[in-house]
Amino acid sequence: MVTTQSQEHLRFGSSKAEWVQLSILLFADAVFYFLIIPTSIVDPTSFGVDKGLPPSFSPRLIAALVALMIIIRAGKLYFGKTSRELIDDDDAEAQVRIPVRALIGMAAGLLFAIVLIPLVGFYISGAALLVALLWVLGEKRPTRLIAFPACVVLLIWALFGQLLSLQLPAGMLFLD
């Protein structure tokens, strides 16, 4: 396939910042996978599948999924449009505004990770986080604000608590 210089500019020039961001993210993910996980999570030597999953399984799985998402985005960027091209030109005002919803979502995530999980445990704080994020994203119907988080928490309990026999944090308020 022969590409012209203008096609190459569309593919790489107008999205150079996004390529740099993806490269940095992929490098950080590789550092997490190959350096941080092996040095901070020690798997027992006699740990087998019959005893459950090793402690490093979840972080490695997450790092692999993040790498996959970065690679998929890079493929879309190479073959498709950049993020800037996806934004409608009529919506130039939205490009200048501070992303309040995103900031509230990040604050809710930090509150979830730092305060709520150690205090009330994963299941209650997970449901609270999902309710908060749904509300920030514009969902106002009480039935959906209750039903969706309840279903997600139930699925997480069934997968991790029952199927994989992994205990998620119970929280200080519920410890004996």
**Could you tell me the pLDDT band of residue 44, with boundaries at 50, 70 and 90?**
confident
The band of 28, judged by pLDDT with boundaries at 50, 70 and 90, is: confident
Q: Is the pLDDT of residue 11 over 90?
A: no
Do residues 76 and 18 make contact, with C-beta atoms less than 8 angstroms apart?
no
**Which tens digits make up the pLDDT trace of 56-74?**
777 888 888 888 988 988 8
Coil/strand/helix, residue 101: helix
Q: How far is CA 129 from CA 14, 35, 44, 112, 119, in A?
A: 37, 30, 33, 6, 14
| The last residue of a domain, from among 91, 125, 157 | 91
Name residues whose C-beta falls within 8 Å of residue 132's C-beta, 6 or more positions apart in sequence.
Answer: 108
10 and 86 housed in the same domain: yes
Indicate if 75 and 18 belong to the same structural domain.
Answer: yes
Looking at the structure, do residues 16 and 71 belong to the same domain, yes or no? yes
CA angle, 100 as apex, 99 and 103 as ends, to 5°? 90
- The whole-number pLDDT of residue 175 equals 65
Does 43 share its domain with 80?
Answer: yes
Residues 55 and 76 in one domain: yes
Region 120-142 average pLDDT: 85
Tell me the HSE value of 130 on the side-chain side, using a 13 A CA sphere: 19
The pTM for the full model equals 0.46
89, HSE (Cβ side, Cα atoms, 13 Å): 0
Could you tell me the pLDDT band of residue 170, with boundaries at 50, 70 and 90? confident
Q: Which of 56, 91, 126 is the last residue of a domain?
A: 91
State the DSSP code for 97: S
**Helix, strand, or coil (residue 39):** helix
11 close to 81: Cβ distance less than 8 angstroms = no
Coil, strand or helix at 161: helix
- Total domains in the chain come to 2
Provide the residue range defining the domain that includes 72.
Answer: 5-91
Span 81-115, pLDDT tens digits: 655 555 554 555 555 565 676 777 777 777 777 77
